[in-house]
Structure 1
Amino acid sequence: MIVHGPEPTVRTTCPYCGVGCGVLATPDGQGGAAIAGDSEHPANFGRLCSKGSALGETLSLENRLLHPQVDGVRVPWETALTEVADGLHAVAEAHGPESIAFYLSGQLLTEDYYVANKLAKGFIGTPHVDTNSRLCMSSAVAAHRRAFGSDTVPGCYEDLDEADLIVLVGSNAAWCHPILFRRMADARARRGTKIVTIDPRRTQTAEESDLFLGLRPGSDVALFSGLLVHLADGGFADARFVAEHTAGLDGALERARRIAPDIAAVAAATGLAPAEIGAFYDLFAGTRRVVTAFSQGVNQSAQGTDKGNSIINCHLVTGRIGAVGTGPFSLTGQPNAMGGREVGGLANMLAAHMHFTPEEVDRVRRFWGAPRIITGEGMKAVALFEAIQRGRIKALWVMGTNPLVSMPRADAIREALTGLDLYVVSEAVADSDTARGLGRKTVLLPAQAWGEKDGTVTNSERRISRQRRFLASPGEARPDWQALAEVGRRLGHAKAFAFPSAAAVFREHAGLSAFENGGTRDFDIGGLMDIPDAAYAVSLPVQWPLPKKSGPPGRRQGRARLFADGRFYTFDRRARFVAVQPPALAQGVSDEHPFVLNTGRVRDHWHTMTRTGKSQRLSAHRAVPFVEVHPDDAATHGLTEGGIARVSTPHGAAELEVTVTDAVPPGTLFMPMHWGGAYASRARVGALVRGMPDPVSGQPELKATPAAAAPVAYRTRGLLLSRGQVALPEGWWWARAAIAGGWGVQFATQEGSREVALTVRGLMRTDALRGLELAEYADHARDRYRCAVYDGQTLVAYLACAPCDARPDWEAAKALFAAPEPEAAERRALLSGRAATAAAGPTVCACHGVGLDAITASIRDGAGTVEAVGAACKAGTNCGSCIPEIRRMLVSETAKAA
């Protein structure tokens, strides 16, 4: 027998948010890997959040797209690529190259992104190349460009360590960027840093802050306009910096005075108390080292660019930019949103942070040798999909994203895609909403997933890191850049797309960044344009800019901060104050749609769950899609905790489990963005939101859609646990989650228990289950039914249903199902519906799999602090994103004891 030794550990980068944490992956030789944080990576120093810690649980080939398909039929790669190239050529010939569009993703590697933009914008000749990053951070990009003349993030993560005040605006960093939030919490413990959170919701981040400002949705501009007035009129401006390095203060200040002349006006606009506004203004004015970090609550707005500029104005007027512990900081949502910006992944950019002046167009044309270089902006995401509806776009290539879940008015988009002449999807999973055949000609191309890819990503602090391959590509999956290059060659551009490797693509990308630059453009990584393959393979994380003149090869260092010298990238090298528009508060609220619908992320899931949905650990905290509603609104509208509500807007509807909480203000709802058609029956957030675009950035509004909510009176609630996935009937409400040992689905239906039993048993009675033992309990007179299916001693499925007010216990059933061969007591418990032993309760700490009951027990045994709870049961000792929940439990249990 041959005994294989352990596979070597590979340094790579996490594929989730824009923090860009370093990961150590040790393959197990069987398609999986052990995952740990990389203590040498400067983004995380070894820490990982719950999602990063569970990456090893997401590597299975279940639901993977493994082979090319044309119209649902498996074909060789050669056939699929011919279909794509011939289809693009035919569409361009018949309707012009501008009838072709590409929709890309911040989860692509930079090398993939670069080749896609080169092919589309330089050789096919279409400007219509946009990305799901349009939905994420394009308003921050536009704000940077208006203020700095370039899309430059001025600071770095070290500024969070060194700030004395951190202001978080529209950012639930404790859940969405937990590793950065731990750095902020560490700074508070070490140097007394104050944390202020500004958000309509009282998020987990808000609960951990020193000051929480729960302002009215959309009123950020009023708050920061008032701050600008306070700083200028109170003598807190840096007069020398303003005079020597900026322009436009008078106009911006005049506009700010009209919007928010005093604290009373700010209070009227924001709904905040004058005292808390004054406390924030005094704290900001009196603290030199201030970082203002903003994220989707700012960006995903019809006024997102102005919100960003109103924040930047306050840093410019005080000169708090470019120095240690200061500056505005855009917290990016996706792992390579910034890499996509570097290569021109947005429709209003060319590659290497160049735009559409004649000189820049000509520069890119000459560097690429591009015969059909575009000369102007393409359509941004919302307009692009509207053009498909109008028939203007005839061919669409989607790569690494799921717009039928995430795009606004997604139901209309789904209908529009059926009219395409060519629909190409490069995807790693087969069951995403977007990968299901829609166009007249649908081509699916199997892409590599994380662990198989090889290339680079750039995080929120401009740090380029390597994603390295540590698993073999399954089936026929290929790199995206390779498929794009092959199509380019088939279209007659062999020389331009003769890339032998990802390293070769990266060298060309770096070369373009340096081409005729001379310090006139912020993005310059010319120091890497001659990196050999061997050096690329082992390259360490590095920040840009990194021009050739930054040092000898192998020792070139990037810059952590920009603008310390007061020189920006405008024509006169001065930063610009921007006169922003008055706040655009939620419009369209009416008797028919009395709520404002807000959307966002949850702690343990990512985007549309195509990766995190495979992990039972990550599915244990929130297993079903939900809507948060204030107690007063719940009482008024007949909504109850745990019941199902139909949330509707003029664009679509969803059915979600109700969470009653005062974390949302009256008159608002909150719905998570993650659940698509693979994991829930009716929970696609994109179907509901109206997506009114910001007039400057084109980023759609995802935080303020008029909505209605009403209870749905289902007759029966139930659950089905099985070793494999089982599809439930059309018309039932359901939500699927990974569980220990298989899959679980919670459901609701108008059917009674007898009909449920017959229907589900019929679905389970496949050839694979015939002849197995069925143990059941039936009381159809009271609408109760439970059954367990055994293969010998092995439990293979469990079904339970009851009236809605007596629905089966999900946590207890999961605990019983986790043991594949239950003992006699557990068998009886399955049929009785009573737990044989105490369940752990809902998971609170996903990193260590610690349940509610274990934490409660440790508190009752005397653990009176978060640290003591961690010492007792490990909860909260890794990424810390569960700490706000543990704090609430400490308060609750202390109150009970009292």
Structure 2
Amino acid sequence: MDGTGLPETRSTCPYCGVGCGVLLRPDGQGGLDVRGDPEHPANYGRLCSKGSALAETVGLEQRLLTPMVDGKPAAWDDTLQLVADRFSQTIADHGPDSVAFYVSGQLLTEDYYVANKLMKGFIGSANIDTNSRLCMASSVAGHKRAFGTDTVPGTYEDLEEADLIVLVGSNLAWCHPVLYQRILAARKARGTKLVVIDPRRTASCDGADMHLALQPGSDVALFNRLLVTLYEGGALDAAYLAHTNGFDDALNAAFADSTAPCGLTEDEITAFCNLWMGTEKVVTIYSQGVNQSTSGSDKVNAILNCHLATGRIGTPGCGPLSVTGQPNAMGGREVGGLANMLACHLDLENADHRTAVRDFWQAPQMPHAAGLKAVDMFKAVGDGRIKALWIIHTNPAVSMPEAGAVRDAIAGCPFTVVSDITAQTDTARLADVLLPASAWAEKDGTVTNSDRTISRQRSVLSAPGEARPDWDILSEVGRRMGFARAFDYTSPGEIFREYAALSGIAGQFGRDFDISGFADISDSDYIQLAPVRWPVTPDRTGGRFFADGAYYHGDGKARLLPVTWRPPASETGPRFPYRLNTGRLRDQWHTMTRTALSQRLSAHLPEPFLDIHPEDAAAEGIDASDLVEVTSRTGTCILRARLSDTVQRGQVFAPMHWTGETAPSARIDTLVAAMTDPVSGQPESKASVVAVRPYKAAWYGFAVSRGDLAPQAEYAAYWAKARTHAGFRTELAGVEIPQDWEAEARRLFAAPEATCVALIDSARGSARIVLHEDGVLVGALFVAASPVAVMRDYLATLPGQAAPDAVTGQMPKDVPNPGPVLCSCFGVGINTIVTAIETQGLMSVEAIGAALGAGTNCGSCRPEIAELLRNLHAREAAE
């Protein structure tokens, strides 16, 4: 049967913290139709390229379907007993702090709650941390220092109300495209000004009124200058400042910092400060460029100081807005998923809070101090203090700083459990025990987005094989460890009720997070729960915080913090002259466990790269498309060079997504030093120092294949693969030349008996080998002594087809060539757009969208379309 007669189910996208609503309809064959939910308040029907491709990422390919112990299938009963016994024995032998959980913003709130309760209340350790530590821990620290608790003051509606929006360290156009489209709509409707503060020129700069390309790490200096300008310009709100403490110290620190370098001209600084000062309604959006820093917490407080000093907080169109990188980073913060927090925004080191939570849970013990934060946790794994580790839905062997050392630490841990949906991650391959978990669209619960909106994720597909929900797995281990009554859950709705009731106790302590209005929610009402912004109490639902000046410190006032600019922890020098910035791509997500399954998402930028300024490249002897070796004190990567003036001289940028599964030499976090913010524990992922030099390969290759292939390290020191509609495409390079290229091709494509067409010129170091089986292409390998010049996008379409001329590496003249994909939502190539511009006289991004659809869905490709237009018009003018 097909799914045409099945109803749509409301759920939530599993990607970033925007928290977009989706409508899901099963197709009756294990797949889904996915579209944006027009009624969800986060997105009103709009989805980004990743959300639009969600249907391409479900299915059984690469799924972990049964528990595995030491690489062999095992029964659930035996496996769960093993996990419970090993954790219990480790605790008995070495104490509760000898075990740890490392969890993820991919968990639903109910899963997160059970994990936190098990570790803190019943194991008795605070050694539970989350990959959200890498994302927004500095924002949490800044909020708590300023507000007394981790409160996001405003709402997404402020984006439509603001007269000025400032993006700080946030490429919103690519990382949170739906919010960026809301801003663009506001600009068009009411003339909202947009300022982007970022060392790189990103897609978010397209159409901005101002781009401030400050030096990495200098945000505190800039916002201290703003605070001084606000004071000298008479723009402070004296009445609102009466609700705060610390202004004089903050201002004195700002004055002392007024000459700190930030890499901007005096005119740029003055223009920005005057614009901010002269605009009544200002929203400052910040993300990883602020948080991922050894001074991240101070950066957050420098921003908050300016909003507090002017009273621009908590009213329509005003306030700071931290946008989170994961779908349930906020839910994790709310349940106490960080090592230094208790559930419901209660404080771990507050004895009254600890006692209240312990009594509520009827827990045997509670830790009195914060546990190990992520970086310190894996150091403890490496030096033997942590002897049993449970990793849930995250890939720290790739995503942690000094990832090579983290991988070695996990490999050496006496007992490692990994819960995930696949065994094919760098981390899962290191586990003693693998537990098959339910995936998105199979599991049921809630998530909280960046503006405090709680939404339901709903199950519409049956979990395959023996996969189970995370809350169920955790609860069963808790029961087997001797805590049967505390973990006798039968549904996520039951967990949600308990969590809501606990939040009522937090409300009695005067905490901000209170959803006690749901403490008695029925199962049917939980099933039907519509998106709602917290708090949810008998007296209040949703809204903004702090317009009334009521805060959560003991005296009820906010605090302005004296902060001073500090340079990044690592200094550039002759050995490591470049500052490395890392970040996300438009169409990929974290370590690509999900997005790499989509051919459409893999088409835009299929290979890892390093952006380097053309003048720096020339100085290093690097040409466009060369492979480069990037080295830091902690590791080495090989990446493809992209010459680009979007980065400043002395700075380079690389995306974070590639892994040992997709490009082993491009695991970028092997280069990132494990330097952390002293308050938040968040690592500095934007400012490590590196050296860059050409990678001198003896040969370069490009392959297309119907099936996956596995290059051998001794031949291919570099390889990077991406999925296509016809199979896979793979870039290769190596320093050792195989003796027999045909034999190597047959091995790569697992086609020892295939019909072969080969053109091999050993003198020139070139080879072209095409293999056919049953009249269709199964693989083609192109080799040269320099980067291979073939029509990659065309060749990638040929596997599985009769392709008699594939050996030429070129597209026949009578076949249209769409070129590399630019719009992933609709699969529109660059050449298609150029042809339409030239033949139809299209003069604007809107006209191109009307003609081809490109840029009309998520809009994240619109800056690239605009740049394409500018380049074409500039070329025409020059001619």
TM-score of Structure 1 vs Structure 2, range by shorter chain: over 0.9
- The SS at the match of 1:23 is strand
Moved more, 780-789 or 658-667: 780-789
Moved more, 786-795 or 624-633: 786-795
Rounded to whole Å, the distance in 2 between the matches of 1:529 and 1:98 is 32
Match of 1:813 among 795, 799, 816: 795
Rounded to whole Å, the distance in 2 between the matches of 1:101 and 1:870 is 50
Rounded to whole Å, the distance in 2 between the matches of 1:682 and 1:62 is 24
Match of 1:729 among 704, 712, 715: 712
Q: What is the CA distance between 1:800 and its match in structure 2? A: 2.0
User: What TM-score comes out, normalization by structure 1 length?
Assistant: 0.95
Does structure 2 retain, via aligned residues, the 8 Å contact 1:753–1:801? no
Q: What is the CA distance between 1:60 and its match in structure 2? A: 2.6
Moved more, 783-792 or 190-199: 783-792
Does structure 2 retain, via aligned residues, the 8 Å contact 1:586–1:596? no
Query: Aligned residue for 1:535?
Result: 525
Rounded to whole Å, the distance in 1 between the matches of 2:745 and 2:777 is 16
Rounded to whole Å, the distance in 1 between the matches of 2:482 and 2:35 is 45
Match of 1:400 among 393, 410, 414: 393
Does structure 1 retain, via aligned residues, the 8 Å contact 2:580–2:688? yes
Q: Structure 1 residues 752 and 376, CA, compared in 2 at 3 Å: closer, same or farther?
A: closer
- Match runs of 1:80-95 below 5 Å: 80-95=79-94
Q: Does 1:804 align with 2:786?
A: yes
Moved more, 112-121 or 796-805: 796-805
Does structure 1 retain, via aligned residues, the 8 Å contact 2:345–2:506? no
Query: Aligned residue for 2:597?
Result: 614
Letter in 2 for 1:539: L
Q: Does 1:892 align with 2:871?
A: yes
Does structure 2 retain, via aligned residues, the 8 Å contact 1:18–1:334? yes
- The SS at the match of 2:494 is helix
Letter in 1 for 2:317: G
Rounded to whole Å, the distance in 2 between the matches of 1:410 and 1:585 is 20
Query: Aligned residue for 1:759?
Result: 744
Match of 2:831 among 853, 858, 863: 853
- Match runs of 1:596-611 below 5 Å: 596-611=579-594
Q: Write out per-residue CA displacement over residues 353-404 of structure 1, whole angstroms, 9 at most, x where no aligned residue.
A: 1112110000000000000222221111111111112211111100010001
Match of 1:256 among 254, 257, 275: 254
Does structure 2 retain, via aligned residues, the 8 Å contact 1:148–1:569? yes
Q: Write out per-residue CA displacement over residues 826-878 of structure 1, whole angstroms, 9 at most, x where no aligned residue.
A: 422x0122211242111110011000101111221211100011112111111
Q: Does 1:317 align with 2:309?
A: yes
Rounded to whole Å, the distance in 2 between the matches of 1:581 and 1:371 is 44
- The SS at the match of 1:682 is helix
Rounded to whole Å, the distance in 2 between the matches of 1:753 and 1:193 is 60
Q: Structure 1 residues 587 and 90, CA, compared in 2 at 3 Å: closer, same or farther?
A: same
- The SS at the match of 1:790 is strand
Query: Aligned residue for 2:859?
Result: 880
Q: Does 1:110 align with 2:109?
A: yes
Q: What is the CA distance between 1:519 and its match in structure 2? A: 6.6
Q: What is the CA distance between 1:542 and its match in structure 2? A: 0.4
Q: Does 1:458 align with 2:467?
A: no
Query: Aligned residue for 1:553?
Result: none
Does structure 1 retain, via aligned residues, the 8 Å contact 2:293–2:568? no
Q: Does 1:285 align with 2:265?
A: no
Instruction: Give percent identity, aligned residues only.
Output: 51
Query: Aligned residue for 2:547?
Result: 564
Does structure 2 retain, via aligned residues, the 8 Å contact 1:606–1:612? yes
Q: Does 1:844 align with 2:822?
A: yes
- The SS at the match of 2:780 is strand
- The SS at the match of 1:804 is coil
Letter in 2 for 1:883: R
Query: Aligned residue for 2:493?
Result: 503
Q: Does 1:793 align with 2:772?
A: no
Query: Aligned residue for 1:555?
Result: none
Q: Does 1:447 align with 2:423?
A: no
- Match runs of 1:568-607 below 5 Å: 568-585=551-568, 587-607=570-590
Aligned residues: 871
Rounded to whole Å, the distance in 2 between the matches of 1:675 and 1:523 is 37
Rounded to whole Å, the distance in 2 between the matches of 1:865 and 1:713 is 43
Does structure 2 retain, via aligned residues, the 8 Å contact 1:594–1:667? yes
Q: Write out per-residue CA displacement over residues 712-732 of structure 1, whole angstroms, 9 at most, x where no aligned residue.
A: 111222222222211101141
Query: Aligned residue for 1:38?
Result: 37
Query: Aligned residue for 1:827?
Result: 804
Does structure 1 retain, via aligned residues, the 8 Å contact 2:294–2:569? no
Rounded to whole Å, the distance in 2 between the matches of 1:833 and 1:809 is 6
Rounded to whole Å, the distance in 2 between the matches of 1:756 and 1:280 is 59
Does structure 1 retain, via aligned residues, the 8 Å contact 2:610–2:641? yes
Query: Aligned residue for 1:367?
Result: 360
The Cα RMSD (Å) is 1.4
Does structure 1 retain, via aligned residues, the 8 Å contact 2:506–2:513? no
Q: What is the CA distance between 1:209 and its match in structure 2? A: 1.0
Does structure 2 retain, via aligned residues, the 8 Å contact 1:49–1:179? yes
Q: What is the CA distance between 1:73 and its match in structure 2? A: 0.9
Match of 1:637 among 615, 620, 624: 620
- The SS at the match of 1:707 is strand
Q: Structure 1 residues 232 and 3, CA, compared in 2 at 3 Å: closer, same or farther?
A: closer
Q: What is the CA distance between 1:560 and its match in structure 2? A: 2.4
Does structure 2 retain, via aligned residues, the 8 Å contact 1:72–1:437? no
Does structure 1 retain, via aligned residues, the 8 Å contact 2:569–2:675? no
Q: What is the CA distance between 1:792 and its match in structure 2? A: 2.0
- The SS at the match of 2:18 is coil
Rounded to whole Å, the distance in 2 between the matches of 1:11 and 1:896 is 48
Q: Write out per-residue CA displacement over residues 746-769 of structure 1, whole angstroms, 9 at most, x where no aligned residue.
A: 11123447633322312434xxx4
Q: What residue ranges of structure 2 are gaps of 5+ in the alignment?
A: none
Does structure 2 retain, via aligned residues, the 8 Å contact 1:718–1:808? no
- Match runs of 1:233-312 below 5 Å: 233-243=232-242, 245-260=243-258, 265=259, 269-312=261-304
Letter in 2 for 1:697: S
Q: Write out per-residue CA displacement over residues 542-570 of structure 1, whole angstroms, 9 at most, x where no aligned residue.
A: 000111334xxxxxxx2221112110111
Does structure 2 retain, via aligned residues, the 8 Å contact 1:220–1:583? no
Rounded to whole Å, the distance in 1 between the matches of 2:407 and 2:871 is 46
Rounded to whole Å, the distance in 2 between the matches of 1:429 and 1:3 is 27
Query: Aligned residue for 1:78?
Result: 77
Q: Structure 1 residues 241 and 470, CA, compared in 2 at 3 Å: closer, same or farther?
A: same
Rounded to whole Å, the distance in 1 between the matches of 2:221 and 2:765 is 55
- Match runs of 1:153-552 below 5 Å: 153-243=152-242, 245-260=243-258, 265=259, 269-355=261-347, 356-437=349-430, 442-515=432-505, 517-518=507-508, 520-550=510-540
- The SS at the match of 1:175 is helix
Letter in 1 for 2:105: G
Does structure 1 retain, via aligned residues, the 8 Å contact 2:701–2:787? no
Q: Structure 1 residues 754 and 7, CA, compared in 2 at 3 Å: closer, same or farther?
A: farther
Q: What is the CA distance between 1:418 and its match in structure 2? A: 2.9
- The SS at the match of 1:228 is helix
Query: Aligned residue for 1:96?
Result: 95
- The SS at the match of 1:91 is helix
Rounded to whole Å, the distance in 1 between the matches of 2:59 and 2:780 is 24
Rounded to whole Å, the distance in 2 between the matches of 1:5 and 1:853 is 36
Q: What is the CA distance between 1:419 and its match in structure 2? A: 2.8
- The SS at the match of 2:798 is helix
Rounded to whole Å, the distance in 2 between the matches of 1:437 and 1:535 is 42
Letter in 2 for 1:407: M
Query: Aligned residue for 1:739?
Result: 724
Does structure 2 retain, via aligned residues, the 8 Å contact 1:18–1:332? yes
Moved more, 836-845 or 91-100: 836-845
Q: Structure 1 residues 516 and 725, CA, compared in 2 at 3 Å: closer, same or farther?
A: closer
Q: Does 1:142 align with 2:141?
A: yes
Q: What is the CA distance between 1:286 and its match in structure 2? A: 0.5
Query: Aligned residue for 1:554?
Result: none
Rounded to whole Å, the distance in 2 between the matches of 1:153 and 1:730 is 48
- The SS at the match of 1:789 is strand
Letter in 2 for 1:92: I
Moved more, 724-733 or 293-302: 724-733
Q: Structure 1 residues 688 and 534, CA, compared in 2 at 3 Å: closer, same or farther?
A: same
